[in-house]
Each structure stands twice: as C-alpha cells, then as structure tokens.
Amino acid sequence: MSRSSTGCWTCKLRHRRCDQLRPACRECSERHISCHGYGPKPAWINNKSLLNAELSRIKHAVKENFRQNSRRRAARTNESSNDQETHRDGSFPTNSDATEASKACSDSAAVSPAQQLTFQESQLLIHYLDYIFPLQFPYYVDNPEVGGRGWLFWFLMKSDPLHQAILTLSALHRYTRFARRAGDTEQELIEYHTKALQGLRQALCQHEIGDLATSSEQLIEFLACGSALISFEVFQGGTMNWQPHLDALSSVVNGMTHVSNHLSSRAQSRPPFTASPGTEDMEHAQRFLVANLLWFDLLASTSSGTAPKIAYKLWLDERNIDLSQLMGCYNWVMTAIGDIASIKSRGASENSTAVVEAFEIKDRLEAGLRDLDLVAQVPMPIAVPISRVFACSAMVELYTTCPPLVYTASAMQDAVANVIEAIRLFPENTSLRGLTWPVCVAGSMAEGDQQQYFETVMQKMLGGSGIGFTNCDTVSQIVKRCWHYRRNHPGQSWNWNDSMGAMGICALLV
C-alpha cells in the first residue's frame, strides 16, 4: 500500500495524525468515515456552509461508529461468558474457539464456505437470491446468453468475505422484519458484518491496488464484497459509512482502466461442465460489478458535491458497460448526470465555462428525451420509462446546479411536472424502489399540488421496500425538509443538498 507525503483532507479537518495509506487511511477506515484523499483541496472546503455540513457528518459518523463498537464489545463479552454446553446448543464461539478458527483460516488449504455451510446459512443465501437481490436491482434484465447470475452463486460458495457480506444483508433483512421473534439475530448480524469487513480489509492489505486489478478472481471477490457492504449501509438508510467502501472500490476500478486486456472482446469460451468459470464468465461478472459501482459513484457524486471518482466516460463509452441491463437506465442519461456532478463540483453559477457546459448537457437531455418519445417497440423495453424518469430528473438537478438556465419563473416547476408525467407513464406493477434519486431530486423542488403527488409516490416506495430495510425513508425526510424550509422562508432557494447539509448527512440514493 502506497503512502502520501501529506495527510488526507479528512484527518487535516479533524486535526488527527494520518498514516497516509491509500486509497483510504487507517484513521478514516477504522471509523467508517469518508477519507477525502490526498489530492488538491476540495472545493467545498472554501464554502463555509458546505464545510460545516461535512464536519457535522464526520462527527455524526464518528459517534455512531463508537456506539456500534461499544455494542460489539458488549456482545463479545457476553459471548465469551457462555459455557461449552451453550456453545453446542448454537451460540457463537468462545475466545478459544475463535483462536482455533483463526489458525484454521491461516492454513494454506483453507476450507471453502460451501464445505462448512450450516442449514441456517443456506437459508440466508437463498433468502438473498430470492428477496434481496430484486431489491438491489429492481430493473435487472437477466440474460442467460451473457452469463446470467451463475458467477454470483459460484463466488458465494467460494469466497468467504463475499459469503459473509451476503449473509450480513440477509441477517439485516431478517432483523428489521422479524426482530421480535429472532432471538440472537442482532448478534448474528454483527458477527457476519464484522467477518465481511475483516475479509475486505485483509484483501486490500494483502494485495496492492494494481495486483487486484490484474487478478480476475481476487478482483471480483473484492468488488462484490465491497458492493454488498455498501448495500448494507443503503438498506440502513444510506446516510453514513458507505463512503469509505466506495472510495476503496473506486480506486480499484480506476486501476482496471490501465489494464489493456480487461474486458477484451477476444475472450475464450468456457468448456461445458468445468469446475471454474471461464474467461467469458469472469468478464461478465466484471461488467456487472463495474456497472453497479458506476451507478453508485455517479449518484453519490451528486450527493457529495464532488466530481465522480471513476472514469465513467471511459467505461460507458468505450468498454461496453451497459447500465440499462443492470439498472434499467441508458448510458447517455447517466453520462449526463456524471457531467452535471462534475460542473456542480466546480460551482456552475460562478464559472462561465461551466455554464456553457450546462447548456450543452441540457441540449443532450432534451434530444435524448425526444428519441425516447419515438420508441415504438412492442413490448417496450423497461429501460425506456426508467430512462425517461431519470433524464427528466437530471434536468431538475441541472437547473438547481446552474441557476442561469432557469430563464423563466415557471421553468423549474415545468421540469418537475415532466418528472411527474414520466412516473405516471411507468408500467403498472413495476416497482418504484429504483427511483429514490429521481424522487428526491424532483420531489424536493415540488410546489403546491406537486408535493401531494410526491407524498403518494414516497408512501408507495416505502411500502414496497419494507419499513426499516430501505433508504426510502431518508428520501422522505430530505424532501419534506425542503418543503418545510421553503414554506417558512418564501422566495429563498433550498434544494435537496441544502437539506442534507442541515441534517448532517450525505445520502447514497440508489
């Protein structure tokens, strides 16, 4: 792991000693706070309100991490006091058992998760595939011709960190839905999550970023485990702790862009009935995971006010990553959102070059929306209505980012009305779960009767996701805070980023 000659920006803000590790220093990683890296000074540091909001988020994350660590220490204390008879009845291992397990894990001939899978873990893995995967990817289009999800099941059985991360998601779902009936579920949840984090850190410590980017199996295990841990934070509201994971994963993906043979079109097919996945299977898995991380990074950048960390244009334009297959949204829409985040990070209202870029993005979005209106394919691809909602919402985000584009008094409300119409054109019985970002961006700028419509939509989103296992409630809080502020301060501008700053959060709306 490489070191920087100076501390990260987060440690400078906190006045902490920084060990200068990349991609994230230990001080930030161990406290689950965002490590802002070692590059040029972030633009938000010079903005007093944004700086105070970031300091508030960091303090909140540090306090929450302290509380979680305290609960885990208490759980370990209780665990070590259990006698051997209790252990045989199904409780968690004692300290001596943990020592033996640690020795076993260090052996070169390690046992795969599948060889020591318990009945309960089998239930949790199936629960993930049946119920949680559709929540993570509500618009995923399965295509067996390009590999399906077989790679995921294979890695679940082979990779211990990914195995533990998926168990964490399933245990969280069970805890939030059935906590009153599930005795040791909270302890079980803490155990799986801790093991997954340890596995992820060990993978990063054992391999340089470049090594991960050139070893297909290790790369896929690392990206899949990290993505699952981000989802774990999203399903708890998505307001904190996701940034260190995304920072680390983004660094790995950017390392992949320098590997000339990645995602090569000359892949060799896998002979049927082989024990391991072939080159094509690996490349499909990589495409899936990179697409997922691009989605995270592009939407996260609009929340954080920073430019996207991953070279999104390279992946979307040149490396055959198709977001519509995984997330239901065409690449041109997400490219526009990434471009909006980039000019937002530079301050579009004060930068004439950024304003010119904003007008160009506006033209692209309008042209893309006209093309969507011309689609006559039957049945219509699900990506058409989803892309329409995101493109219309991107226009709202563009207006809030670059006020010079709002040249009429009704322009913003007209843009919000277009989002409402796009949602109304959504196919019946199609989940609204994947619309957290559009609903937050457009809903926060709604006025009058438009607010009642978004209130109804947010209630539907909450009902479909399950209370306590979603970030939809975070969306509702952000949007309603916007409405409340503008109602009490007529004529003043206040958008979803302002609400997050006041709340001391940075939400990942995926």
Comparing 44 with 340, the larger pLDDT belongs to 340
Do the domain assignments include residue 230?
yes
Do the domain assignments include residue 79?
no
Does 167 lie in the same domain as 311? Answer: yes
Q: Mean pLDDT throughout 319-334?
A: 93
Residues 6+ apart with CB under 8 A from 23: 35, 37, 209, 247, 248, 250, 251, 252
Domain count, the chain: 2
In total, the chain counts a number of residues equal to: 510
pTM: 0.76
Give the residue from 304, 321, 338 where a domain finishes: 321
Does 306 lie in the same domain as 185? Answer: yes
Does 69 lie in the same domain as 178? Answer: no
Do the domain assignments include residue 191?
yes
Residue numbers of the domain that contains 47: 10-73
Give the residue from 321, 343, 371 where a domain finishes: 321
Task: Report how far Cα 353 is from the mean position of its chain's Cα atoms.
Answer: 30
Rounded Cα distance, 71 and 77, in Å: 10
Strand ranges in 353-441 using DSSP code E only, listed in sequence order? none
Do the domain assignments include residue 192?
yes
**Is residue 4 scored above 90 in pLDDT?**
no
Rounded Cα distance, 474 and 234, in Å: 10
Which pLDDT value is given to residue 51?
78
Rounded Cα distance, 274 and 365, in Å: 46
300, amino acid identity: A
Across 168-172, 231-235, 440-444, the highest mean pLDDT is recorded for 440-444
Does 250 lie in the same domain as 143? Answer: yes
Does 162 lie in the same domain as 32? Answer: no
Rounded Cα distance, 61 and 66, in Å: 9
**Is residue 280 scored above 90 in pLDDT?**
no
| Residue carrying structure tokens 């691009």 | 294
Do the domain assignments include residue 499?
no
Instruction: Return the ∠ at Cα 299 (arms to 202 and 331), rounded to 5°.
Output: 105
Comparing 123 with 6, the larger pLDDT belongs to 123
